[in-house]
A and B are shown apart, each in its own frame.
Chain A
Amino acid sequence: MTTDLNQFPQLDKTKFEQRGIQLEIGVPVTCAVSIGNYIAAGFGDGTIRIFSSGEKHKTLKAHKGVILCMARDGDNILTGGDDGFFLKISLDGEINKITNFGSRWVDHVVAHNGNLVCSSGKVVYYWDKNKKEPKSLNHDSTIGGLAFDTKGRRLAVSRYGGVTIWKKDYSNKWKSTKLDWKGSHNKVSFSPDGKYLVTSMQENVLRCWRLKDKLDFAMSGYGSKVKSFAFIDDTSYLATSGAIDAICWPFDGEGPMGRTPICVPYVGNNQVTFIEPFPDEKAIFAGLSDGSVFLSQIENENNTIIIRSFTGSEVSAIAMTDDKSSIFIGDMNGNTLWTSIWDQ
């Protein structure tokens, strides 16, 4: 059988692809975070690539296996891997081992103000910045996600059957409260205003709790698992993946209950797989299952521009530098784009 390539539309490169740097790494991009005006990206072969404008990217071999999770700790990168290592890596490439769990994976990592947290299996390990040994916080089932609130006072731990919220009381003892909902909870996040907590579940649904009275409700209607979500413009919207549109739930005023979400549409039938906020704007980067990435204004669906055209592989990471000048995009086949956002 022969394929006539001319029967497919010849897509031109976007202007972002033309002026940016595109790499074909060949292994999945698993995560990316901004560190000031640098972007650190983690890969399925344990390497980290650090991108900055005007310099060639730097490649570090950090883990033996997959980099499963990544977070920013000041000017450092924290990573957890399927080799059991929890590492702290500087932008200069200095790698420090925090701990090693052996054949147990480090599934999740977060940090706030120098306090470092990771989870491995059912246990959350919390390194207070003033202490050497971590505090273990135990749970009955494997941890699906970790999140600090904006002030770093509360730590949410999602798991089977709901979420455990940990905080220290006045005598510096750890206290927990539970938010129960049957089923397996994965990614978790506080709203930036601290009023809500959202989880994505194994089923194609989000669970949300209003924290002042623990009122809980579902946000449903998705065609697939919601792997990525983010609060937009403080707590104006919750933008979510898992459908062919980016589903944006209104969280201003009295919250999303009884209100319909805004659906930001994209051409074709590809699922949205990754959402990254454009800071301080009611706008999102949406990555799709075909590798394409769009920047859209939530309240004006006509205002969508294409950043990257399709690659054939689902978008698994998007990160923007703190100065909002450049973005990094990566997918499951290891195709990456590093580009400036603004025309020169």
Chain B
Amino acid sequence: MENKHQVPVTVLTGFLGAGKTTLLNRILTEQHGQKYAVIVNEFGEQGIDNDLVVDADEEVFEMNNGCICCTVRGDLIRILSGLMKRADKLDAIIVETTGLADPAPVAQTFFVDQDVANKTKLDAIVTVADAVHLSSQIEDHHEAEEQIAFGDVILLNKIDLVKDENIDVVTKRIRKINPFAKIIKTTKCGAPLKEILNLDAFSLKRILEVEPDFLESDHDHEHDDDVTSLSFVSDKPLDMEKFQNWFGKLLQTKGQDIMRTKGILDFKGENDRYVFQGVHMLMDASPMGKWPDDKERSSRLVFIGRNLETMNLKEGFEACKSE
């Protein structure tokens, strides 16, 4: 029988100095009874030496299929295939990306390469943010903003060095960019590892469990270049064909600017809930069982990205409502 066990892979991102190495050292040295391999970049921060640390070059390459979104991490395909041949089975793999790298190609590797997809699965994108410097980093570097946008979990680190009211300011700034990430406030990245690893954040089932409250209401449109988020709710069922046409075209033409999407949809004439989530143009969608009896049926959809206000998302979504 085919062994369908997939090793979860956590992508760890964040600016230089935010505390990624502190976290990696904890993962490698704490007594947790788990076997974790860590893939680090040679230009990353120093100070980790362990048999389960693999050096990698961050080699981003385009798949030769004309889709600009299909940039993947070639080195990861090679290293993950190698790690899957190990005799001792790994409980999880952590991929560190350097401060300036866009996490998208790492995430896309798990959608694009068949062997990687068969044997490993993207577990979550964890962003370590420096509570002291995040606000200014977001102003000065679009990468800092993108790392926040992509994160499923954001470790807001070094809160011991920041006044309480400033923590609130930073938290609000993060929420504006990314309303669905779980924010964990830490000093020295001291969060329990079970809140960081093996989260299954990319499973469609998980999206149903979390059901973040941000989906309850619309957010204000922002007229600037910032990464921002928009969410939509409809109590009226959607027309599946209309939705597929609109959404497919949207990702095809605006997938560069749309960084993450998540949604739970109620289609007219369908008994099942449809759940989807995507990174840029790549999307995973599936019916996830019947609507629970104790819950009102409704559709919820969230976008994180740039220039969202130019995409007529509200109008497009409204037009998908069934007659």
A residues sitting closer than 8 Å to B (CB atoms) are 26-28, 30, 43-46, 64-66, 68, 82, 102-105, 107, 121-122, 141-142, 144, 160, 182-184, 201-203, 224-225, 312-313, 332-333
- Considering only residues 130-181 of chain B, those with a C-beta below 8 Å from chain A are none
Compute how far the CA of A43 lies from the CA of B87 in the bound complex, rounded to whole angstroms: 8
Interchain residue pairs A-B with the least CB separation, the first 8: A45-B87, A183-B64, A27-B87, A44-B85, A103-B55, A66-B85, A28-B85, A44-B87
Q: Does B287 contact A (CB under 8 A)?
A: no
Given A105-B54, A122-B57; A183-B63 close (CB under 8 Å): yes
* B-chain residues with CB within 8 Å of residue A105 when the two chains form the complex: 54, 79, 82
* A-chain residues with CB within 8 Å of residue B64 when the two chains form the complex: 182-184, 201-203
**How many residues of chain B get a CB closer than 8 Å to chain A's CBs?**
30
Our pick among B53, B78, B86, B115 for the contact of A107 (Cβ within 8 Å) is: B78
* A-chain residues with CB within 8 Å of residue B77 when the two chains form the complex: 202
Given A160-B61, A182-B62, A203-B65; A141-B55 close (CB under 8 Å): no
Residue of B nearest to A103 (CB): B55
Q: Is there an interface contact between B54 and A184, defined as CB atoms closer than 8 Å?
A: no
Q: Is there an interface contact between B85 and A160, defined as CB atoms closer than 8 Å?
A: no
Compute how far the CA of A82 lies from the CA of B78 in the bound complex, rounded to whole angstroms: 11
Given A182-B62, A203-B64, A312-B2; A224-B114 close (CB under 8 Å): yes
Query: In the complex, how many angstroms separate the beta carbon of A233 from the nearest chain B beta carbon?
Result: 30
Q: Is there an interface contact between A312 and B75, defined as CB atoms closer than 8 Å?
A: no
Q: Does B59 contact A (CB under 8 A)?
A: yes
20 contacts between A and B (CB under 8 A): A28-B84, A44-B85, A44-B87, A45-B88, A46-B87, A65-B86, A66-B83, A66-B87, A68-B82, A105-B54, A121-B55, A141-B59, A142-B74, A142-B75, A183-B63, A184-B64, A202-B72, A202-B113, A225-B115, A312-B1
Query: In the complex, how many angstroms separate the beta carbon of A25 from the nearest chain B beta carbon?
Result: 9
Residue of A nearest to B64 (CB): A183
Given A184-B61, A224-B114, A225-B115; A202-B86 close (CB under 8 Å): no
Compute how far the CA of A73 lies from the CA of B2 in the bound complex, rounded to whole angstroms: 36
Residue of B nearest to A182 (CB): B64
Residue of A nearest to B112 (CB): A202
Determine chain A's interface SS by DSSP, over half rule.
loop
Compute how far the CA of A182 lies from the CA of B74 in the bound complex, rounded to whole angstroms: 13
Q: Is there an interface contact between A142 and B59, defined as CB atoms closer than 8 Å?
A: yes
Q: Is there an interface contact between A30 and B59, defined as CB atoms closer than 8 Å?
A: no
Most chain B CB atoms below 10 A, which of A28, A65, A203, A333: A65
Residue of A nearest to B77 (CB): A202
Query: In the complex, how many angstroms separate the beta carbon of A22 from the nearest chain B beta carbon?
Result: 18
Q: Is there an interface contact between A82 and B82, defined as CB atoms closer than 8 Å?
A: yes
Query: In the complex, how many angstroms separate the beta carbon of B286 from the nearest chain A beta carbon?
Result: 22
Residue of A nearest to B2 (CB): A312
* B-chain residues with CB within 8 Å of residue A102 when the two chains form the complex: 55
Q: Is there an interface contact between B85 and A30, defined as CB atoms closer than 8 Å?
A: yes
Residue of B nearest to A82 (CB): B82
* A-chain residues with CB within 8 Å of residue B82 when the two chains form the complex: 66, 68, 82, 105
- Chain B 83-100 near chain A by CB (<8 Å), digits 1 or 0: 111111000000000000
Q: Is there an interface contact between B74 and A225, defined as CB atoms closer than 8 Å?
A: no
* A-chain residues with CB within 8 Å of residue B115 when the two chains form the complex: 225
Query: In the complex, how many angstroms separate the beta carbon of B1 from the nearest chain A beta carbon?
Result: 5
Q: Does B51 contact A (CB under 8 A)?
A: yes
* A-chain residues with CB within 8 Å of residue B63 when the two chains form the complex: 183, 202-203
Q: Is there an interface contact between A141 and B74, defined as CB atoms closer than 8 Å?
A: yes
* Sample of 10 more A-B contacts, CB < 8 Å, known A104-B55, A202-B61: A28-B87, A65-B51, A82-B54, A105-B82, A142-B57, A142-B78, A160-B61, A182-B62, A183-B64, A184-B74
Compute how far the CA of A176 lies from the CA of B177 in the bound complex, rounded to whole angstroms: 49
Query: In the complex, how many angstroms separate the beta carbon of B133 from the nearest chain A beta carbon?
Result: 30
